[in-house]
Amino acid sequence: MAKPRTLPRPDASIAAPAPQPLTPAAMAGLWTLRFGPFGCRDDETHGGVLHVEGNRMAGGDGQLIFHGQFAIDGPTTLAASLQVVRHGFGSDYRGVFGTLAPLFRLDVAAEAITPDLFEGRIGRTAGPDVRVVMRRLDPITERSRIV
């Protein structure tokens, strides 16, 4: 029986590439957004779209409209403060943010997994934080700029 081949061990360790610092310009584009309690199934999350340009975000889903500003905190962390306007009261919406108020504010902190994928949390004053995932759907184009 032949002896299994082994690869030679390199003398120098291979370092993971350093994360590339983010900029608001690099964030520009159309993103999908999924949010729900940590540990919930995908079909128990809510979702929508998010348009990012400059230091502004705006988007929504079938129940909420959200808009506000964001900043890059550290090389790969996004921090946002969003004003939320409820425009629907459908029976499928479970009040994931712990309020049924027509207007409220959300604070978001997310870490870049890749330049096109962020995962993080939405802080809540009552109850545990909510998980959020942002995926880039399309980069910004002249046609899609916020006016």
Structure tokens at 13: 């360790």
Q: Which helix (H) or strand (E) holds 66?
A: strand 64-72
CA 18 to chain centre: 21
Q: Which amino acid is at 142?
A: E
DSSP state of 17: P
**pLDDT surpasses 70 at 118:** yes
What's the rounded Cα separation, in Å, for the pair 49 and 59? 5
Choice between 100 and 118, residue whose per-residue pLDDT is larger:
118
Over the Cα atoms of the chain, what is R_g? Answer: 20
Q: Cβ(98)–Cβ(127) under 8 Å?
A: yes
**pLDDT surpasses 60 at 15:** no
Percent above pLDDT 70 for the chain: 78
What's the rounded Cα separation, in Å, for the pair 40 and 42? 7
Confidence of residue 102 (pLDDT cuts 50, 70, 90): confident
* Mean per-residue pLDDT, 77-88: 92
What's the rounded Cα separation, in Å, for the pair 120 and 6? 40
What's the rounded Cα separation, in Å, for the pair 44 and 87? 20
**pLDDT surpasses 60 at 33:** yes
pTM of the model: 0.76
CA 95 to chain centre: 19
Burial class (CB in 10 A: 0-12, 13-18, 19+), 9: exposed
Closest of 20, 137, 11 to residue 74, by C-alpha: 20
What is residue 26's predicted lDDT score, i.e. its pLDDT? 86
What is residue 25's predicted lDDT score, i.e. its pLDDT? 86
